[in-house]
């Protein structure tokens, strides 16, 4: 096991930092090399057991169960069991595969036609059909709903019901990643009956939209919503009328347990079956009584700057801070070497990532020179926000120490996860630490939401606006030739590294602890749990 070289420094520094906390939670986005399959135990004498209650203890509670209203991994990890998409990505092969759609055909450059399954009903008995698809996509794109997930779907011009089980999606222009986008959690299908009730309950008050769906999440998935005790747990139960393979257990309970040591202890004594995350420093200990899955990710962890606020509206200030960060030191010291140090905004696992770009390298002397050129030779005072993810807090402390070399005085503030997303979305911050998981597996889903100016106030929390970056990302969206798209993305990554709206830190490894009493659990490269095939063994 790698040693945590910064651990003593971080503990000592932490005593000097006053953290203004609003509550408790984490993300892994909307916030790795090893076992990417499951924790199947190689014991021929083990037998599977039906029934029982699967307990997952997680750091962060879901923000919302309306898939059109949230854009974070903790929410998606619950939603993924309630709802389903038209198609899914096989992360082993990279291929798009059927789910609620059985097949599809590209009719022309702007039109895709999908044939739907005919044996599916929503949990409330409402039939799944082409009309349901149209209602969902129309709602997702309804400005009144204000979905943070609409960005990827915005190029859709119209959704047409061809017949009961055939739907046609037309885009405004050719849209290269359209099928990848349909795998996105924004494309989860919600019961049209519930959607109609949501609009009815809200009436003319659009601020009330999504409230009914959030309280009554109804999809087609293998689990059904049962109860939500805020701050404690969300309970899902088996869908006995599921169209596909039914789960072997009776219920799955997502318990919010912020304390890492408590999660580990509960896993050891059997009060939990899956815990997320396992802290890097606890891997050896947890491996003494459970399995630790290490999954390479498509995520990026970054320190963002508010490009609309001085002094971060000056790219030389952003570049200086980026050059003051030793990414390898953070990877080894904070993450015990789990994950990959970032050279730019895209994980090596994402289509469109380029190795032929100049990385944001560590050079403290260049950082000092850039800061002087920007007009801040004597530094300045600022603050950095984070949520209560322990590694992000440690990164904030490391950054605080590093920036003293530039005479930059940094105050650290820690916030509850939901409040953190709300306040950074509103642009109230100066610097912040966050992550992004590109669930489509395509560079469009990784770069456009984070850095296109049209998404400022939504996913673009750096509030970065650059006409050339906008132009490249827009061109890549409508380009259907793969090589040309790759060229656009290479240019965009080069510009983003140079303009430094964010300091790209690392691509994390998802570390989950799994009891040896269960089998069949996986987590995909976007951080989403796969629990449909989990079974208890004895």
Instruction: Kindly report the number of other CB atoms within 10 A of residue 310's CB atom.
Output: 10
DSSP E strands, 216-318: 223-229, 233-238, 251-256, 274-276, 291-296, 299-305
| Stretch 123-150: mean pLDDT | 97
Q: Is the pLDDT of residue 36 over 60?
A: no
Concatenated DSSP letters of 447-498: HHHHH-GGGBTTTBTT----HHHHHHHHHHHH---HHHHHHHHHHHHHHHHH
pLDDT band at 361 (very low <50, low <70, confident <90, very high): very high
Order of strands, sheet of 502-507, starting from the edge strand that comes earlier in the sequence: 340-341, 502-507, 299-305, 431-437, 381-387, 409-415
* pLDDT for 45: 61
CA distance 308 to 460: 12
Least confident segment among 42-46, 214-218, 410-414, 416-420: 42-46
**Is residue 338 within 8 Å of 286, Cβ to Cβ?**
no
| Stretch 237-261: mean pLDDT | 97
Instruction: Tell me the whole-structure pTM to 2 decimals.
Output: 0.86
257-294 per-position pLDDT tens digit = 999 999 999 999 999 999 999 999 999 999 999 999 99
| Stretch 385-393: mean pLDDT | 93
CA distance 490 to 473: 11
CA distance 303 to 233: 30
**Is residue 40 within 8 Å of 394, Cβ to Cβ?**
no
| Stretch 469-496: mean pLDDT | 96
CA distance 458 to 409: 29
Q: Is the pLDDT of residue 225 over 80?
A: yes
| Stretch 108-116: mean pLDDT | 97
Q: What is the DSSP letter of 206?
A: G
293-323 per-position pLDDT tens digit = 999 999 999 999 999 999 999 999 999 999 9
């Amino acid at each position: 096991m790698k040693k945590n070289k910064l651990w003593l420094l971080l503990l000592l520094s932490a005593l000097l930092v006053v953290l203004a906390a609003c509550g408790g939670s984490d993300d892994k986005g909307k916030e790795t090399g090893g076992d990417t399959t499951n924790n199947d135990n190689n014991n021929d004498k083990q037998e599977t057991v039906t029934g029982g209650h699967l307990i997952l203890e997680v750091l962060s509670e879901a923000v919302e169960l309306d898939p059109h209203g949230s854009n974070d991994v903790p929410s998606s990890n619950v939603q993924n069991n309630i709802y389903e998409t038209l198609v899914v990505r096989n992360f082993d092969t990279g291929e798009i595969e059927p789910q609620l759609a059985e097949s599809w055909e590209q009719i022309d450059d702007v039109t895709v036609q999908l044939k739907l399954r005919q044996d599916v009903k929503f949990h409330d008995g409402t039939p799944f059909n082409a009309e349901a698809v149209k209602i969902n996509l129309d709602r997702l794109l309804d400005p009144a709903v204000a979905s943070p997930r609409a960005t990827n779907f915005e190029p859709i011009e119209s959704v047409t019901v061809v017949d009961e089980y055939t739907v046609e999606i037309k885009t405004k222009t050719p849209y290269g990643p359209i099928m990848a986008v349909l795998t996105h959690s924004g494309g989860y299908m919600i019961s049209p009956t519930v959607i109609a009730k949501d609009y009815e309950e809200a009436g003319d008050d659009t601020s009330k939209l999504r409230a009914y769906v959030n309280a009554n999440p109804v999809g087609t998935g293998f689990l059904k919503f049962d109860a939500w005790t805020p701050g404690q747990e969300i309970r899902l139960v088996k869908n006995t009328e599921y169209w596909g393979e039914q789960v072997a257990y009776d219920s799955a309970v997502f318990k919010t347990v912020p304390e890492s040591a408590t999660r580990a202890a509960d896993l050891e004594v059997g009060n939990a079956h899956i815990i997320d995350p396992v802290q890097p420093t606890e891997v050896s200990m947890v491996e003494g009584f459970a399995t630790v899955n290490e999954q390479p990710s498509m995520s990026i962890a970054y320190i963002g700057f508010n490009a609309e606020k001085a002094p971060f509206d000056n790219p030389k200030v952003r570049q200086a801070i980026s050059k003051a960060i030793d990414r390898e030191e953070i990877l080894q010291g904070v993450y015990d070497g789990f994950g990959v140090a970032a050279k730019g905004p895209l994980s090596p696992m994402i289509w469109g990532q380029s190795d032929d770009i100049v990385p944001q390298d560590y050079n403290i002397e260049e950082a000092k020179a850039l800061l002087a050129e920007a007009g801040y030779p004597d530094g300045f005072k600022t603050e950095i926000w984070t949520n209560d993810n322990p590694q992000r807090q440690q990164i904030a402390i490391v950054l605080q120490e590093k920036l003293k070399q530039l005479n930059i005085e940094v105050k650290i503030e820690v916030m509850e996860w939901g409040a953190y997303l709300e306040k950074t979305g509103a642009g109230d911050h100066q610097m912040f630490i966050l992550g992004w998981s590109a669930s489509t597996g395509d560079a469009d889903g990784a770069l456009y939401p984070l850095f296109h100016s049209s998404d400022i106030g939504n996913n673009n929390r750096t509030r970065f606006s650059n006409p050339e970056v906008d132009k490249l990302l827009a061109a890549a969206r409508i380009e259907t030739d793969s090589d040309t798209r790759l060229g656009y993305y290479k240019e965009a990554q080069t510009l983003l590294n140079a303009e430094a709206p964010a300091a790209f830190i690392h691509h994390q490894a998802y570390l989950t602890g799994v009891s040896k009493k269960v089998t069949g659990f996986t987590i995909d490269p976007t951080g989403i749990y796969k629990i449909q095939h989990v079974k208890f063994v004895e």
